[in-house]
Chains A and B, each alone.
Chain A
Amino acid sequence: MEMKAIRDGFGEALTELGKQNPRVVVLSGDLEDSTKAAAFKKEFPARFFNMGISEQDMIGTAAGMGREGFIPFACSFAVFLTNRAYDQIRITVCYNKANVKLAGSHAGISAGSDGATAQCLEDIAIMRALPNMTVICPADAVEVKKAVRAAAAHPGPVYIRTARTASEVVTTEATPFSVGKALTLREGKDLAIIACGIMVPEALRAAALLERSGVNAAVINMSTIKPLDREAVISAAKKYGAIVTAEEHQRAGGLGAAVAEVLSASFPVPVEFVAVNDSFGESGEPEELLAKYGLKDVDIARAASAVLRRRK
């Protein structure tokens, strides 16, 4: 089992992209050592800009460069990028359809011991609320590379959410990926778990746990949260009649909410949400935090049992 942080895959992907495309530039909020954008800086110093600790200004600068034909990746912790610079992302980027790629690392509670101020738990909700924005939360350090390439090829705003902690690599270079398409990683019979980010490996482990008690769960990697793959969600609901969503994010407005919006309008079935429940995080080791905040494989398995009871 290979363990690797999604942010490490991001840094490698950015550097590979820089080799292939001279229009790629990187702007950093003085966190390139943490976001792993430093790999790009080393290879392409003339196309790397440390914009200092001023995320709002960084976003606007990136948009100006995008308007002039560059493909700017603006990188910081997810929390400072999306929360601090929200109005700049809303107006300068999304309203203007600026060709800006936002890369937020340290998303989720697994950011760890830096504590609540660094753990971004709202970014999926606030980014997906914005018109013209695409939101991608890759499942692992391999998928993030495909997401980076796809983001560069996509005209307009894209947000890529990455995690700090090492997590299990569950896809390969050959695994299909396209923006807006869900991928079933494990077929099942009784219910579907729809997950994103590092919760995808947790969901696969949950499915293995469930199997021991005779429950066969499908696992769907929903790496694009906006535009959501509505067909995949509806077809899972029709096939299984019970859904669990799993995300390292607030329950309000995240992946689970996006799935529920589709199902409540089109094909209502019981849904259980594995997510942070309206609270801030705290300091601790990633695994300790995931356990304390109910985001582990066992929590997903418990939600699966609950949703099956509701389905009858």
Chain B
Amino acid sequence: MTEKTGFIKGLELKAGGFRAEILKMINKAGAGHPGGSLSCIDLLTALYFSKLRVFPEAPDNPGRDRFIMSKGHASPALYAVLAGRGFFPAAELDRFRKLGALLQGHVHTGVPGVELSTGSLGQGLSFANGMALAAKLKGEQHGIYCMLGDGEMQEGQVWEAFLTSAHHKLDNLCVILDANKVQQNGLVAEIKNIEPAAGKLKQFGWKVEEIDGHDMAQILRALDGFGKEPGRPYFIKADTIKGKGVSFMELNPRWHGKAPDDAELAAALSELAKWK
């Protein structure tokens, strides 16, 4: 095993562990969004454990890379990774969605490491654009990352924001599309198709990469491509599977926003025990 593949294997194992954390916290909360959390967890793991320059002990350090989670219902995935990265004690995960707890149901700025409270879809990219414009005005070098969902692409504001990023040549901005193909009541392709998303973004003037969003080597390669195309914002279309890693959740809209009961959790965890 080479050093590189060892590193990738480590990230894969970490992502497997986060999958278990996600399901446990949603089970304990009795509510939450497992499908869209499991689809983006490989991407988040790569970002937070290989790419992003972050400072868990000083989350607002001006030199940090910014990450905006626009699909705010994937809070379990982001919270699991932030806890894993040391932004707050992992014990908080047990109080997800509880009254008075740190971890609100959707991504919230009260949590160390979170840049923007989200949960009303379509709003994150405009904010990321503002951060990217600000960095340009101030001559700062950090990167701004924003994760979108494919169902979220049905919101009009996202397209306004795509125009803004390209018009202002925000080459310090990287959007990652978690294209997991499923929204609450069915397939994105059947409800309001957004494909071909990559073609649309190319037409919008973005630099576009298409990858398998569960292949850690491809994710790392795509992230390494960010910052190498002057004058153009960077779009990674990550082909993912909603509910990835738990056979009975995969591509099943029923698991968009439903908590596993104890038996379902046990079945899911035993599948994940064999992960990779």
Contacts and interface: CB of A to CB of B under 8 A. Distances in A.
Given A51-B164, A61-B164, A91-B120, A56 B126 contact: yes
B157 A65 contact: no
Interface string B138-164: 100000000000000000110011011
Contacts of A92: 116, 123, 126-127
Interface string A83-94: 000011011100
B128 interface: yes
A69 B127 contact: no
A40 interface: no
Contacts of A67: 115-116, 127, 130-131, 134
Nearest to B72: A91
Contacts of A60: 123-127, 129-130, 157, 161
Contacts of B273: none
B194 to A, nearest CB: 18
B5 interface: no
B115 to A, nearest CB: 7
A64 B123 contact: no
A87 B118 CA distance: 11
A72 B167 CA distance: 19
Interface string A51-75: 1101011111111111111101000
A267 interface: no
Given A68-B138, A96-B116, A56 B130 contact: no
A269 B223 CA distance: 66
Contacts of A69: 134
Interface residues of B, number: 30
B123 A61 contact: no
Given A54-B163, A69-B134, A64 B117 contact: no
B59 interface: no
Contact of B130 (A68, A87, A91): A68
Interface string B90-134: 000000000000000000010000011111101111111111111
B135 interface: yes
Contact of B157 (A46, A49, A88): A88
A95 interface: yes
Contacts of A52: 160, 163-164, 167
B111 to A, nearest CB: 13
Nearest to A47: B137
A51 B164 CA distance: 7
Contacts of A91: 117-120, 123
B128 A57 contact: no
Contacts of B123: 56, 60, 87-88, 91-92
Nearest to A69: B134
Given A56-B157, A60-B161, A87 B126 contact: no
A64 B126 contact: yes
A115 B80 CA distance: 52
Residue from B120, B138, B167 with most neighbouring chain A CB atoms (10 Å): B120
Interface residues of A, number: 30
Nearest to A62: B130
Contacts of B120: 87, 90-91
Contacts of B156: 56
Interface in A18-61: 25, 46-47, 49, 51-52, 54, 56-61
A88 B125 CA distance: 12
Contacts of A70: 134, 137
B116 A68 contact: no
Interface in B143-200: 156-157, 160-161, 163-164, 167
Contacts of B137: 25, 46-47, 70
B160 A56 contact: yes
Interface in B192-232: none
A91 B108 CA distance: 11
Contacts of B126: 56-61, 63-64, 88, 92
Nearest to A54: B160
B157 A64 contact: no
A69 B119 CA distance: 24
A68 B134 contact: yes
Nearest to B158: A57
Given A54-B160, A88-B123, A64 B134 contact: yes
A62 B160 CA distance: 14
Given A56-B156, A57-B160, A66 B109 contact: no
A231 to B, nearest CB: 33
30 contacts: A25-B137, A46-B137, A54-B164, A56-B122, A56-B157, A57-B129, A57-B161, A59-B126, A60-B124, A60-B127, A60-B157, A61-B127, A61-B130, A62-B130, A64-B127, A64-B130, A64-B133, A65-B131, A65-B134, A67-B127, A67-B130, A67-B131, A68-B138, A69-B134, A88-B157, A91-B119, A91-B120, A92-B126, A96-B116, A96-B117
Interface of B: 109, 115-120, 122-135, 137-138, 156-157, 160-161, 163-164, 167
Given A56-B156, A64-B134, 18 more contacts: A25-B137, A46-B137, A52-B164, A56-B157, A57-B164, A58-B126, A60-B130, A60-B157, A61-B130, A61-B133, A69-B134, A88-B157, A90-B120, A91-B117, A92-B123, A92-B127, A96-B109, A96-B117
